Amino acid sequence: QIVLTQSPAIMSASLGERVTMTCTASSSVSSSYLHWYQQKPGSSPKLWIYSTSNLASGVPARFSGSGSGTSYSLTISSMEAEDAATYYCHQYHRSFTFGSGTKLEIK
């Protein structure tokens, strides 16, 4: 099965700062099948970005996703307080796997 490695595991950003986190796959993943979720403490994960670059309903435009093959990223153009959360990447290629998550904190 494909292993997804997210980096960094933990990061902190100042309000207004540009943030980028990455998701690296052990083998090539179709960009259609690479997705991101946001999870806040005590809540279920929420679909955030689907098929690499499409924002889920209600996700602010400051978020974007990109990538192909084995390398994918999630970017926040200008950090806001409500963006503090853990972000997980997720892929489907014969089976489903999640990355280990990037915890984003406010500096």
Partner 1 sequence: QVQLKESGPGLVAPSQSLSITCTVSGFSLTDYGVSWIRQPPGKGLEWLGVIWGGGSTYYNSALKSRLSISKDNSKSQVFLKMNSLQTDDTAMYYCAKHDGAPYYFDYWGQGTTLTVSS
* Contacts to partner 1 by CB under 8 A: 1, 32-33, 35, 37, 44-47, 50-51, 56, 88, 90, 92, 95-101
Tokens of 85: 């959360």
Please count the other Cβ atoms lying within 10 Å of the Cβ belonging to residue 101: 20
Spatial distance between the Cα atoms of 38 and 103, rounded to a whole number of angstroms: 10
82 vs 96 by CB, closer to partner 1: 96
- The residue to which tokens 């309903």 are assigned: 57
62 vs 103 by CB, closer to partner 1: 103
16 vs 58 by CB, closer to partner 1: 58
What is the nearest approach in angstroms of partner 1 to the Cβ of residue 83? 19
